[in-house]
């Protein structure tokens, strides 16, 4: 929402206008009206006093002539008594210049505000005496000022009331409806179409509100239309992907035969050279076709969200060296030179990636660099460690390059930037797959290019240095061999996990491993349970109600009684910060969800120096099953729970019982914009869905959680979540049914 600067607000402006006006009024009053009035009053009173003085001069003429000074005194005294603002009168004889009145010494003016008036007493045009009057009109001026003040006060009060009423009117008629409208706009912007604003006024504001309401309805219908079209387009796209996937798959079977038979010619004694040459051509064409089909398969897997990854900490140096090695023959054949740089920096560094997929990425970039290079061109492969725990691997060539404007087209399927007509073979989907793979492995890919000079593709990945975490699986494999399955002390494991599904999974896994397990739903319960019973290992979720995994660990590590307790975190958030935090609070290790049985086992062995008693088979079944359970990652499922469908179904049932409620809650929270609630529920659902190996649902939940934390969940994402969830429910039910039927 746009924040309005306080001084731009209509409310503030009208208030300031009223204050300024009042201030000007007061200034006008104090600096102009009052002095002017005082001057005016002074003048008026002076005139009156002058007139009285004139009358006095007439009446004292006779006493002055006849020297009847007693009468003169009486007249003046009585005048002074009558006129309260006359402070004193002096009468001076014009002939002798004697002071005739008062008898005492003349004080003259005393105060600054005293006014002096004089009048000559004439008799037959001859001056007899001069009367000097000192008057002071301060009292009268004060009196009139008081009156004026009262007048101004009442005017000011009336004005203030008027302006306050005006301000209220502005507020009521304009500002408040505008704010309501603003609120409705922000609701609409968030996709909430329930933003009708009541139109209370029949004026311009009212018509604006009316127009807004109409617009909201229009936008809603357009949005619905778009949504419908999107769903249609998506289902069309999915149909296409499905078609392509099955087509590609179906194509591979006959291709196998073609390639196989073409190869046979090589060993056929009766075939002549021409036939052998033709068969070689058939083989090469078939090989190319197979490559294309594999690419198309990958692309469809990406588009349908079925791309599967086996994440692990992989030492990166040998992996890159391997890839370079693989293409070096090809490069040599095309008389190209490979330059490598900075590989030693990678020593001891791990990426958290799928090894096979990363290799695919590297090979793709390298083979592109060879394919699109000049004759006798050069290829540079360099590695750099960036500051922020990241590593950059770049592959640069000296080929024809492309313009900057084409970069956006680079990652579009089937767009080869004009290379379609060249002799270089390609489908135009390699880079699309590469980019998708890199991003799915939390990496970044960037391109720089200059036309006719060459291009440079760079990969950026987070690096990990943990000796403790890396190669867990390797350690497991080695140790597994060293211990006998029968010499096992029984471990007591406490599991703190709030999701019922996850509890089920872990329960099955720990049962398979022959470990005694106790389950609690939050950190607080875990703490209580620890007080009463001894445990060797604590498996704890990080995000839990009441007391989370970090706090629980902190509390445990403060208590010396629990020093030997092994604490292993189980988290779905594979963020480096999260992992660092695990170490910081004193955890011994961590497992990522979905928890693979092998890893769980190896961690337990590593930390407890004991052995779990079961052999875990991780061999994967053929992938043909996946397309009937496309929401389920069966390899992950097996890695977690082994091959027993009975165990799978127990976990699935736990998920089916609890997850529906979580989806419902997410939908309800979304309808009232309760982002904290959404994030919490999405996190729980993500965790559960990882435990039943429904990776796509987990990914969507992850997305919802991230967006909810940033308070920007879109309703279509929730719809997607629900669609995906429904598919998951259907498939899990079907899986259980199939098992029961068997």
Partner 1 sequence: MKYVVAMLCLLQSSWLFSQEYTFGVVPQYESQKLNAIWQPLLKQVSEQTGVKIELITVKSIPVFEQAFANGEYDFAYMNPWHSVVAHEKQGYLPLIKDAGRSLQGVLVVNKKSGIDNLSQLEGAEIAFPAPNALGASLLMRADLALLYGLKIKPVYVQTHSSVYLNVALNSTKAGGGVLGTLKQQPKNLQQKLKVIYKTREISRHPIVAHPRVASEIQLKVQRAFLNIGESDEHKHLFAGIPIIEPSIATLAEYQQLTEWGLSAFYVEN
Residues interacting with partner 1, by CB under 8 A?
66-73, 96, 98-100, 103-104
Considering the complex, state which of residue 77 and residue 232 has its C-beta at the smaller distance from partner 1. Answer: 77
537-541 and 516-520: which strand pairing? unpaired
Considering the complex, state which of residue 56 and residue 279 has its C-beta at the smaller distance from partner 1. Answer: 56
Nearest-10 crossing angle of helices 316-333, 355-371: 30
Q: Residue 60 Cβ, how far from partner 1 at the closest point, in Å?
A: 13
Cβ-Cβ contacts under 8 Å for 653 (sequence gap 6 or more): 504, 736
CA 533 to CA 492: how far, in whole Å? Answer: 10
CA 431 to CA 299: how far, in whole Å? Answer: 10
Q: Residue 70 Cβ, how far from partner 1 at the closest point, in Å?
A: 3
Q: Residue 125 Cβ, how far from partner 1 at the closest point, in Å?
A: 23
**How many CA atoms lie within 13 Å of 477's alpha carbon, on the beta-carbon side?**
6
Q: Are the C-beta atoms of 489 and 642 separated by less than 8 Å?
A: no
Considering the complex, state which of residue 71 and residue 406 has its C-beta at the smaller distance from partner 1. Answer: 71
Q: Residue 78 Cβ, how far from partner 1 at the closest point, in Å?
A: 14
Considering the complex, state which of residue 96 and residue 482 has its C-beta at the smaller distance from partner 1. Answer: 96
Considering the complex, state which of residue 68 and residue 235 has its C-beta at the smaller distance from partner 1. Answer: 68
Question: What 3-state class would DSSP assign to 18?
Answer: helix
492-496 and 444-450: which strand pairing? unpaired
CA 473 to CA 639: how far, in whole Å? Answer: 12
Least Cα distance to 109 among 85, 133, 138 occurs for: 133
Annotate 504-517 with DSSP letters as a single string. HHHHHHHHHTT-EE
Three-state SS string over 349-394 comes to CEEEEEHHHHHHHHHHHHHHHHHCCCCCCEEEEEEEEECCCEEEEE
Least Cα distance to 522 among 541, 502, 501 occurs for: 541
Rounded alpha-carbon distances, angstroms, from residue 493 to 227, 479, 556, 570, 626: 49, 21, 15, 14, 34
Considering the complex, state which of residue 126 and residue 742 has its C-beta at the smaller distance from partner 1. Answer: 126
Considering the complex, state which of residue 96 and residue 624 has its C-beta at the smaller distance from partner 1. Answer: 96
Considering the complex, state which of residue 98 and residue 157 has its C-beta at the smaller distance from partner 1. Answer: 98
Considering the complex, state which of residue 70 and residue 82 has its C-beta at the smaller distance from partner 1. Answer: 70
Rounded alpha-carbon distances, angstroms, from residue 41 to 29, 46, 240, 298, 713: 16, 8, 100, 102, 76
Considering the complex, state which of residue 100 and residue 141 has its C-beta at the smaller distance from partner 1. Answer: 100
Q: Residue 58 Cβ, how far from partner 1 at the closest point, in Å?
A: 19
Cβ-Cβ contacts under 8 Å for 722 (sequence gap 6 or more): 663, 667
**How many CA atoms lie within 13 Å of 568's alpha carbon, on the beta-carbon side?**
28
**Residue 182 bridge partners (DSSP):** none
Q: Are the C-beta atoms of 425 and 449 separated by less than 8 Å?
A: no
Q: Residue 88 Cβ, how far from partner 1 at the closest point, in Å?
A: 15
Q: Residue 133 Cβ, how far from partner 1 at the closest point, in Å?
A: 19
Considering the complex, state which of residue 69 and residue 193 has its C-beta at the smaller distance from partner 1. Answer: 69
| Angle at alpha carbon of residue 489, lines to 503 and 539, rounded to 5° | 25
Considering the complex, state which of residue 129 and residue 393 has its C-beta at the smaller distance from partner 1. Answer: 129
Q: Residue 134 Cβ, how far from partner 1 at the closest point, in Å?
A: 19
Q: Residue 101 Cβ, how far from partner 1 at the closest point, in Å?
A: 9
Q: Residue 69 Cβ, how far from partner 1 at the closest point, in Å?
A: 4
Considering the complex, state which of residue 101 and residue 562 has its C-beta at the smaller distance from partner 1. Answer: 101
Q: Residue 96 Cβ, how far from partner 1 at the closest point, in Å?
A: 8
What's the chain's length in residues? 742
**Residue 381 bridge partners (DSSP):** 340, 395
Q: Residue 36 Cβ, how far from partner 1 at the closest point, in Å?
A: 43
The token duo for 658 is: 């609890």
Q: Residue 111 Cβ, how far from partner 1 at the closest point, in Å?
A: 24
Question: What 3-state class would DSSP assign to 613?
Answer: coil
Give one word for 664, left, alpha or beta, with left for phi > 0 and alpha for psi -120 to 50: alpha
CA 327 to CA 423: how far, in whole Å? Answer: 20
The token duo for 116 is: 């002096």
């Amino acid at each position: 929402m746009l924040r309005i600067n306080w001084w731009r607000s209509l409310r503030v402006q009208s208030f300031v206008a009223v204050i300024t006006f009042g201030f000007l009024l007061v200034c006008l009053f104090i600096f102009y009206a009052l002095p002017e009035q005082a001057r005016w009053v002074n003048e008026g009173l002076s005139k009156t006093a002058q007139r009285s003085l004139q009358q006095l001069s007439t009446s004292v003429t006779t006493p002055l002539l006849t020297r009847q000074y007693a009468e003169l005194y009486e007249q003046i005294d009585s005048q002074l008594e009558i006129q309260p603002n006359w402070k004193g009168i002096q009468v001076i004889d014009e002939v002798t210049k004697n002071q005739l009145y008062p008898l005492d010494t003349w004080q003259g003016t005393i105060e600054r505000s005293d006014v002096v008036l004089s009048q000559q007493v004439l008799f037959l045009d001859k001056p007899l005496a001069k009367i000097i009057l000192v008057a002071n009109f301060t009292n009268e001026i004060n009196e009139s000022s008081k009156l004026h003040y009262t007048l101004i006060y009442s005017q000011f009060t009336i004005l203030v009331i008027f302006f306050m009423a005006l301000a209220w009117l502005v507020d009521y008629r304009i500002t408040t409806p505008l704010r309501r409208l603003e609120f409705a706009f922000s609701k609409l912007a968030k996709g909430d179409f329930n933003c009708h604003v009541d139109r209370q006024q029949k004026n311009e504001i009212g018509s604006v509100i009316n127009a807004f309401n109409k617009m909201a309805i229009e936008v809603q219908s357009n949005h619905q239309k778009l949504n419908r079209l999107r769903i249609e387009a998506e289902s069309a796209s999915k149909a296409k992907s499905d078609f392509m996937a099955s087509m590609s798959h179906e194509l591979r079977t006959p291709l196998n035969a073609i390639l196989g038979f073409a190869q046979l010619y090589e060993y056929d004694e009766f075939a002549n050279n021409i036939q052998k040459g033709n068969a070689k051509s058939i083989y090469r064409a078939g090989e190319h076709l197979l490559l294309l089909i594999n690419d198309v398969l990958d692309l469809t897997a990406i588009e349908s969200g079925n791309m599967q990854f086996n994440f692990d900490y992989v030492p990166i140096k040998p992996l890159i060296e391997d890839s370079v090695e693989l293409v070096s023959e090809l490069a040599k054949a095309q008389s190209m030179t490979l330059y490598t740089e900075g590989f030693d920096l990678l020593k001891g560094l791990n990426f958290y990636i799928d090894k096979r997929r990363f290799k695919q990425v590297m090979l793709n970039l390298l083979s592109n660099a060879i394919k699109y290079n000049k004759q006798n061109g050069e290829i540079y492969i360099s590695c750099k460690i960036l500051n922020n725990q990241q590593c950059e691997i770049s592959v640069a060539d000296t080929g024809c390059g492309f313009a900057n404007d084409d970069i956006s087209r680079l990652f579009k399927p089937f767009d080869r930037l004009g290379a379609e007509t060249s002799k270089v073979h390609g489908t135009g989907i390699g880079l699309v797959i590469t980019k998708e793979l890199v991003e799915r492995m939390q990496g970044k890919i960037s391109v720089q290019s200059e036309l006719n000079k060459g291009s440079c593709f760079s990969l950026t990945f987070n690096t990990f240095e943990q000796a403790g975490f890396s190669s867990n699986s390797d350690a497991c494999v080695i140790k597994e061999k060293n211990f006998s399955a029968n010499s096992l002390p029984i471990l007591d494991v406490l599991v703190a996990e709030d999701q019922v599904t996850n509890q089920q999974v872990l329960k099955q896994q720990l049962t398979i491993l022959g470990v005694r397990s106790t389950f609690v739903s939050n950190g607080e319960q875990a703490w209580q349970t620890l007080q009463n019973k001894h445990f060797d290992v604590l498996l704890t979720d990080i995000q839990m109600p009441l007391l989370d995994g970090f706090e629980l660990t902190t509390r445990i590590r403060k208590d010396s009684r629990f020093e030997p307790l092994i604490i292993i975190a189980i988290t779905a958030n594979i963020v480096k910060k999260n992992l660092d935090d695990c170490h910081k609070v004193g955890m011994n290790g961590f497992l990522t969800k979905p928890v693979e049985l092998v890893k769980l086992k190896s961690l337990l062995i590593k930390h407890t120096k004991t052995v779990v008693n079961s052999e875990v088979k991780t061999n994967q079944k053929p992938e043909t099953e996946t397309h009937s359970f496309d929401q389920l990652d069966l390899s992950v499922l097996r890695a977690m729970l082994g091959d027993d469908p009975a165990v799978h179904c127990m976990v699935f049932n736990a998920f089916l019982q609890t997850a529906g409620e979580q989806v419902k809650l997410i939908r309800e929270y979304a309808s009232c914009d309760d982002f904290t609630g959404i994030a919490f529920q999405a996190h729980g659902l993500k965790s559960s869905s990882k435990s039943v190996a429904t990776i796509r649902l987990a990914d969507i939940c992850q997305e919802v959680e991230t967006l909810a934390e940033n308070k920007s969940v879109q309703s279509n994402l929730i719809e997607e979540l629900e669609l995906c969830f429904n598919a998951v429910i259907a498939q899990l039910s079907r899986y259980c049914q199939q098992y029961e039927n068997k």
